[in-house]
């Protein structure tokens, strides 16, 4: 994020703190609870979001050098992402052209060639089929016709995008859209990949996203955890087409700079803020002083009430050597034990069909945005604005 924008955000947070105000959506919205439970809506979401929409599957540092790869089935389709010997990023269906076996085991590593574990057909990391075992006995093939099936993919500003279905090449400028420059300034490629976890939860995948969508709940649900570090009921609000950004203020840091009467131009932006992005349709992207967390939410088990959150952590480049402990126990104490704990109870009540609507308040503008862009993309009726009384 560029300096001028940082100044504007810090100023907004400072003012909000002084006046006890926060971003205001100007209206309240009704959210139909069956959006979290309806199998027909889930089927539509799976088709539109998880098959036909480019998804951010990682950062450039997930493929840190030439001839590296990541194999993942998280979208519901087996995907192999590679960086070839020239540094070029590509994505393929991780499916052997012989009998359909998964070629590369799920995980990450280095490899210029991949040999299928069933009959050892071998592919280059460019997707080219380079060897058919006993081809003289199998039958002669034109290898050019039997490479791994390439998926639309693109790398932009340190992020990796893949569409899970075959289609037209992606236009990289349409992926991060107006956030492309800002992401470049975060220096994502310099944040090394550290660790990854999958959180399985009995909640709809959108409830997993919702939990990151406001800090109205910090002083209640997180009063003994996150609220000791982050100021509740205070956020910025910026829309970037279908994406979104909100910034929270760190408690200790803000107290220090304010007590020192430090001019705002000298405030250390990264040290003072928690930056939360929603990247359409399913990513929560968090930048804080310790690094970057990428959380990719997916429906699971074809059940509206089940989801998987794929979480990867990339430490700040200056801290990569000093941070040695896993980030996940501390993170999960808040996100799993508190946020997803609450979301599980919301899901259970939604499934009981006892209350048709929830509400998004004026002070929860990110939730207005996510649910509107999701609904628009699916062709759902517009959410109802609650008339002011």
Q: Which residues bind ligand FES (CB under 6 A)?
A: 96, 98-99, 101, 116, 118-121
Quote the least distance from Cβ 116 to ligand FES, whole Å: 3
Quote the least distance from Cβ 368 to Fe ion, whole Å: 18
d(CA 216, CA 232): 6
Residue 119 near which of Fe ion, ligand FES, none (CB within 5-8 Å, type-dependent): ligand FES
Interface residue with Fe ion among 339, 340, 371, 373 (CB under 5 A) is 339
Question: Could you tell me what percentage of the chain is helix, strand and coil, using 3-state DSSP and rounding each to the nearest 5?
Answer: 30, 30, 40
Of 77 and 239, the one with the shorter C-beta distance to ligand FES is: 77
Quote the least distance from Cβ 339 to Fe ion, whole Å: 4
Residue 223 near which of ligand FES, Fe ion, none (CB within 5-8 Å, type-dependent): none
Residue 85: burial class (beta carbons within 10 Å; 0-12, 13-18, 19+) = exposed
Of 49 and 285, the one with the shorter C-beta distance to Fe ion is: 285
Of 101 and 141, the one with the shorter C-beta distance to ligand FES is: 101
The three-class DSSP label of residue 285 is strand
d(CA 346, CA 278): 21
Quote the least distance from Cβ 71 to ligand FES, whole Å: 14
Cβ–Cβ under 8 Å, residues 113 and 126: no
Assess 210 for contact with Fe ion (CB under 5 A). Answer: no
Residue 121 near which of ligand FES, Fe ion, none (CB within 5-8 Å, type-dependent): ligand FES
Quote the least distance from Cβ 12 to ligand FES, whole Å: 56
CA 229 remoteness from chain centre: 23
d(CA 228, CA 338): 14
Q: Which of 155, 178, 1 is nearest to 83 (CA)?
A: 155
The HSE-up count of residue 22 (CA atoms within 13 Å, CB side) is: 18
Q: Are strands 385-386 and 303-315 parallel, antiparallel or unpaired?
A: unpaired
Of 47 and 120, the one with the shorter C-beta distance to ligand FES is: 120
Quote the least distance from Cβ 95 to ligand FES, whole Å: 9
Of 111 and 172, the one with the shorter C-beta distance to ligand FES is: 111
* Stretch (H or E) spanning 295: strand 291-300
Residue 339 near which of ligand FES, Fe ion, none (CB within 5-8 Å, type-dependent): Fe ion
For residue 9, what are the CA distances in angstroms to 25, 50, 90?
Answer: 17, 33, 36
Contact residues: Fe ion, CB under 5 A: 339
């Amino acid at each position: 994020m560029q300096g001028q924008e940082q100044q504007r955000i810090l100023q907004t947070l400072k003012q909000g703190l002084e006046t006890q105000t926060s971003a205001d959506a100007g209206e309240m919205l009704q959210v139909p609870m069956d959006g979290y439970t309806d199998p027909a809506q889930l089927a539509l979401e799976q088709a539109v979001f998880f098959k036909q929409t480019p998804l951010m599957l990682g950062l450039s540092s997930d493929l840190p050098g030439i001839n590296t790869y990541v194999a993942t089935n998280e979208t519901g389709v087996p995907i192999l992402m590679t960086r070839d010997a020239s540094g070029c990023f590509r994505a393929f269906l991780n499916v052997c052209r012989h009998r359909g076996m998964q070629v590369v085991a799920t995980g990450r590593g280095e490899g210029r060639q991949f040999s299928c574990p069933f009959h050892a057909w071998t592919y280059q990391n460019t997707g080219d089929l380079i060897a058919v075992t006993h081809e003289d006995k199998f039958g002669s093939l034109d290898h050019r016709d039997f490479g791994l099936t390439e998926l639309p993919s693109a790398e932009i500003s340190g992020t990796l995008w893949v569409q899970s279905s075959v289609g037209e090449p992606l236009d990289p400028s349409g992926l991060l859209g107006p956030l492309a420059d800002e992401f470049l300034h975060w220096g994502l490629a310099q944040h090394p990949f550290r660790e990854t976890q999958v959180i399985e939860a009995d909640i709809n995948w959108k409830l997993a996203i919702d939990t990151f969508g406001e800090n109205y709940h910090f002083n209640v649900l997180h009063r003994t955890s996150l609220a000791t570090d982050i100021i509740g009921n205070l956020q910025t609000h910026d829309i970037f087409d279908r994406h979104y950004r909100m910034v929270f203020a760190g408690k200790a840091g803000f107290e220090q700079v304010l007590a020192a009467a430090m001019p705002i131009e000298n405030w250390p932006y990264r040290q003072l803020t928690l930056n939360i992005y929603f990247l359409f349709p399913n990513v929560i992207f968090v930048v804080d002083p310790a690094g970057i967390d990428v959380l990719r939410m997916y429906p699971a088990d074809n059940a509206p009430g089940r989801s998987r959150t794929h979480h990867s952590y990339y430490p700040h480049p200056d801290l990569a050597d000093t941070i040695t402990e896993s980030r996940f126990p501390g993170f999960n104490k808040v996100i799993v034990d508190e946020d997803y704990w609450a979301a599980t109870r919301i899901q259970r009540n939604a499934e009981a069909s006892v209350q048709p609507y929830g509400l998004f308040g004026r002070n929860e503008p990110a939730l207005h945005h996510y649910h509107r862009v999701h609904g628009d993309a699916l062709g759902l009726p517009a959410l109802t604005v609650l008339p002011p009384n």
